[in-house]
Amino acid sequence: GMLGGYGHISSIDINSSRKFLQRFLRDGPNRTGTTRALDCGAGIGRITKRLLLPLFKTVDMVDVTEDFLTKAKSYLGEEGRRVRNYFCCGLQDFSPEPNSYDVIWIQWVIGHLTDNHLSDFLKRCRAGLRPNGIVVIKDNMAQEGVIMDDVDSSVCRDLDVVRKIIHRAGLHLLAEERQENFPDEIYHVYTFAMR
């Protein structure tokens, strides 16, 4: 699976993400729309299938691995017809279509981007938002500093480093939440909403 041997946490992850997201989708003057979402680092579509398609009319997926996007087409089943675009591209090179997305969801992928690539990507995401749209990052957070993973060459940043990158991209934090009920031995996971 895509969760590195922690497939059993998928439902906990999805349920928490849904609760987090729904506070922005509720009625109100600044309500986030439900027309179109973008799943960044989408893999085979776990987030698209279980979180985004149930809440949005259409979803676009972007992932650097063509094989994952090909598998996604069968994994998503009938609901996959509402996936408009499968973009095969690294996020450092991807530009969301301007003024197009209500929600841009970025989960467990920022560690594969340099600080500059992440900041630049978030700037492009900001331009890709529709009115009242939000960018969401959900990812592992280091306790302190930046930790390099020798296996896949990714990094795990601490909260302060991530907040600085978000600020540098010109985005404002709307909400920040620590994921509960995950195994103690894995990194803390935080979700950020911004626009």
Within 10 Å of residue 50's Cβ, how many Cβ atoms? 16
Closest CA to 190 of 167, 158, 168, 149: 158
- For residue 171, is pLDDT > 50? yes
- For residue 134, is pLDDT > 90? yes
Q: Report which DSSP code applies to 171.
A: -
Bridge-partner residues for 60, per DSSP?
38, 85
State percent of the chain over pLDDT 70.
96
Residue pair 59/81 in contact (Cβ under 8 Å)? The answer is no
- For residue 3, is pLDDT > 80? no
Binding residues: 41, 46, 63-65, 91-92, 107
Q: Identify the pLDDT of residue 182.
A: 86
Within 10 Å of residue 163's Cβ, how many Cβ atoms? 15
- Residue keyed to tokens 């907040």: 163
Give the burial string for 73-99 (b: 16+ CB within 10 Å, else e). Answer: eeebeeebeebeebbeebbeebebeee
DSSP 63-88: ES-HHHHHHHHHHTGGGGGGEEEEEE
- pLDDT tens, position by position, 106-127: 999 999 999 999 999 999 999 9
Structure tokens at 114: 């340099």
State percent of the chain over pLDDT 90.
87
Provide the pLDDT confidence category of residue 1 given band limits of 50, 70 and 90: very low
Q: Identify the pLDDT of residue 12.
A: 92
Q: How far apart are CA 113 and CA 134, in angstroms?
A: 20
Structural domain spans, the chain? 7-194
CATH tag for 7-194 (out of 3.40.50.150, 3.40.190.10, 3.90.1150.10, 3.20.190.10): 3.40.50.150
- For residue 4, is pLDDT > 60? no
Q: What is the mean pLDDT of residues 165-189?
A: 93
Binding residues for S-adenosyl-L-methionine: 41, 46, 63-65, 91-92, 107
Q: Identify the pLDDT of residue 26.
A: 85
Q: Identify the pLDDT of residue 6.
A: 58
Name the CA dihedral angle for 116, 119, 121, 123, rounded to a multiple of 10 degrees.
-140
- For residue 7, is pLDDT > 70? no
- For residue 138, is pLDDT > 70? yes
Beta strand spans in the chain (E): 36-40, 58-63, 83-88, 101-107, 129-141, 146-148, 155-157, 173-178, 188-194
